[in-house]
A and B are shown apart, each in its own frame.
Chain A
């Protein structure tokens, strides 16, 4: 079938059960581990103490870009309690990052202030810190490069002279050719009667997980590594660590165990130098070694969402339908390559498929600089790209003389239509979300502009989102393993390869499994985060866990349920289809009143212990979604479902102070089906508040590569006093591929916040802010510029 023929999909049969039949799914059930957390009993890595454990500290580079002439560790080694001091000189080289452009300990040169130069293991934090302070490094400064523009200048100094394979590099451009072409750009331009070109800029922002980065590495006598870790990707981290073990000459196996994790938001999607340093120190000392970042280290030595600049042109025809979109993006990658360099792959999604636009060209370049190197954060590249798209949408609507909401109505996505990049959204509630938000906000009757008798002006703005909601095939497997065992006492253990980072996957899986089995949810325990007992999973990213781990758990539970039903039917001497299990009771359609209702534990016990086959009910399942890797031209259906949403914001701008106050926020998300509306609300509230921070307050400030605000005093994340009234509307479209109809929702809450706010500010005071965050000084500056222009 050609792409054109596929464009309109046939109606898909709805395979989900009617909502009224669901007993556990769809209910507001508290998060499974919330009890332990309110008791102070949840165990985080910071609380863990192993016998003989040492404490590790890292010496970070004191230069942004310099040759390392010498490292003298002799004084450090004399500090009482020090058990090991390591540098690149006395350890095997381990290279990390998917392009392997980074050695864990830097040997010949440093390329950023977060480069690891040496590390210490000692019997106390104090001794380790003392030893670190006594290491003497002699540097020879090299010219630093702190913006992509400088980095791309003719003759700019090279940050990397060669790639990991030893091939010489000619410039600071990263060899990842992000280019997406859909349709015919020139045709789209010719059809446009109105076009607008604008540029936008977004800053680096930190995940600000409340729990800082930490691990404990421990080798046993057989050279087997157990690493207690906070990763979002246990299976992939294990593979990375195994590779490092080989480099270290250790022949053992790797076990990754994650205790309770203090927040993720994408920060733990890659493995970092400190984890390997803990491994090297542990291997050297034969003792467990713990490393815990201070908050300052968490700010400057973890990988943020990167700085990016966009230039976007969109055009529409006389009726206000988009005819083309052309975008160029430049990303400050920082000194080494992690997943931040791949955010353009996700930017392509909104670029190609947010609103119906047939002709598209998107190009993005990632540039090495001597700044901190970037990672993914909630939404990956999507919030950055959506800021550019949805602000430009408003600017284009104004030029075309169309109301911004009406403009979005005309261009909203529809279900069953293949997008230009080749996505196949079977369900799409974009229009429903838009109408719900517009109605709830009272958009049509709004009064914009100065509130009489005050220096404040009111305005409303909207923005939309598309995100993957059915997995994202970025590795050859996007699957998840689940094993389930049911003990004869009626307790259920589910071992899932996926991960809980606080979002509530543990609870979602519990509800799905309890629903399928017909057990009470409290009988079901979810185990995640132990690679010795849980099977493979692609990790907690791309809002994929409810969909992929949920489907995996659902299918696995269905297998176990079938085993039970067959056995119970035999026990009760009825046909299998006469059996149903609900809330821990087995109901049989039979005339024998003694067999009509039986506690499931009784039948489980009889199946196991009374000689009727001595059965235990257990199953394993690996569920691989039917999505496709993107082709070489980045086309293809890389998710099985897509989540949509529309956010609307009403705010006040103080024209004297530049302060922006959000006074009302409405967010509608089409998430297929809410497995747990309470946890879903939590994802929306949390995502939106992070998004408001991205829009209004958060920015990592660098001076020649040095982070100036590595603390919560100077880096402003929102507090309780900044809470805005948020109405989170759930639009359910029952996705035929999702578990009970659900699509993913972890990231979407953050995605369209900044453009919605920027659009509302324009509605209020007529200034267009194209750079985040929209702080009071920038608002005032724009207001003054506007006033000056008017005077002139």
Chain B
């Protein structure tokens, strides 16, 4: 076991984790943040995507110990301080970008990592940023529309 301290959605957390634990299991089981989902356990589907120090990572492959001293963001922390939805959450709802919803938390976090860094992406850049997040329901069209619309909204 190793004791690690990191920030999750703005809150400091200290806990003991086993050396082989991945970040996803710590978020899901220890911190009861169920938003990030395990779709494959092999970093292939992106459903477990969270942001660590500004970078979107597949938390199922990310060693929990590596999170020590870092800043972790999950879908649960997206809601703005005002209590209203993050523009990405709003547009995902309004543009029909959500069907079964299993990929949604990871998809939204990949999109946030993109917009945080590049607030003005073109369509191709959005597609590249989301290429590691598999969705079987939507065919992606409305997801891409939602991300571009959120980027517009965030510029206002």
Contacts and interface: CB of A to CB of B under 8 A. Distances in A.
Interface of A: 28, 30-31, 33-44, 46-47, 207-212, 260-265, 294-295, 501-504, 678-679, 681-682, 685-690, 711-713, 717, 719-721, 723, 726
A33 B131 contact: no
Contact of A686 (B104, B134, B137): B137
Contacts of B36: 40
Contacts of A720: 126-128, 130-131, 133, 135, 140, 143-144
A547 B72 CA distance: 45
Contacts of B143: 720
Contacts, number: 175
Nearest to B100: A502
25 contacts: A30-B96, A31-B93, A38-B105, A39-B79, A46-B34, A47-B34, A209-B102, A209-B136, A210-B102, A210-B103, A262-B100, A294-B41, A295-B39, A295-B45, A502-B137, A504-B99, A678-B95, A682-B99, A685-B141, A712-B45, A713-B44, A717-B136, A719-B130, A719-B134, A720-B128
Nearest to A722: B140
A40 B76 contact: yes
Nearest to B29: A49
B144 A686 contact: no
Interface in B118-156: 126-128, 130-144
Contacts of B38: 46
**Number of contact residues on B: which range applies?**
35 or more
Given A210-B103, A713-B44, A38 B98 contact: yes
Contacts of A37: 98, 101, 104-105
A690 B89 contact: no
B136 A712 contact: no
Nearest to B130: A720
The B interface is mostly helix, strand or loop, or mixed, namely loop
The A interface is mostly helix, strand or loop, or mixed, namely loop
A31 B96 CA distance: 7
B100 A263 contact: yes
Nearest to A685: B139
A207 B100 CA distance: 14
Contacts of A212: 39
Most chain A C-beta atoms within 10 Å of own C-beta, residue among B78, B100, B105, B133: B100
A208 B41 contact: no
Contacts of B140: 685, 689, 719-720, 723
B141 to A, nearest CB: 4
B108 to A, nearest CB: 6
B142 A211 contact: no
Contacts of B141: 681, 685, 723, 726
Given A685-B141, A685-B142, A35 B93 contact: yes
A697 to B, nearest CB: 13
Contact of A681 (B76, B126, B135, B142): B142
A723 B45 contact: no
A261 to B, nearest CB: 6
